[in-house]
Amino acid sequence: MTRRTVSDCERAEFEHAFREARPLKPATAEPHPPRAVKSHAPSGVDGATARRMRQGTLEPQARLDLHGMTEDGAHRALATFLRGAQARGLRLVIVVTGKGRLDPDAPFEMGTDRRGVLKQAAPRWLREPEFSRFIADLRPAHRRHGGEGALYVYLRKKPA
């Protein structure tokens, strides 16, 4: 398919129509800052480890299942588990939050997603200063290790 050529008459009509046009916003003299590359966060894992976690070939060394716990109990269990795992020199652990389930008695959603309270809370907790000193990397687990209902937590080396 070839492009149609613009005739001189059409070009003159276009220039006449847009001669008085003004931009809605004044042009800025400064260029836009370069976009930052998206990433999870500053990661403490190398490329090979990240790839093995993504592919699910790196086996977790310990597992914490938060199913059926209250928010308060899960928070305490998570703190205890991570402290103990780092003290034992473990590097990759998995935290199973579950996917959550919808409340069958709720008449309607009202635009809020209350599905999976621990699934939403656990990543938030793990980014808090209390936990971040233990964690080198945090990402969703591979499907064979729980997928959407679990998190890989890659721990920092224990302090000497």
Window from 42-46, 67-71, 80-84, 120-124 with minimum mean pLDDT: 42-46
Please indicate whether residue 130 or residue 39 has the higher confidence score (pLDDT): 130
**DSSP one-letter code for 155:** E
| C-alpha dihedral sign at 145, 150, 152, 158 | negative
Greater pLDDT, 142 or 115: 142
Residue 14 confidence (pLDDT): 87
pLDDT in tens, 35-71: 544 444 556 788 888 888 888 888 999 999 988 888 8
Q: Is the pLDDT of residue 15 over 70?
A: yes
Q: How confident is the model at residue 90 (pLDDT cuts 50, 70, 90)?
A: very high
- In this prediction, residue 158 carries a pLDDT of 74
55-70 as b/e: b if 16+ CB within 10 A:
eeebebebebebeebe
Identify the band that residue 145 occupies on the pLDDT scale cut at 50, 70 and 90. confident
Domains in the chain, please, with CATH? 60-101+117-155 (3.30.1370.110)
Buried b or exposed e, range 129-147, using 16+ CB within 10 angstroms: eebeebbbbbbbbbeebbe
Rounded average pLDDT over 125-141: 87
pLDDT of 133 reads 84
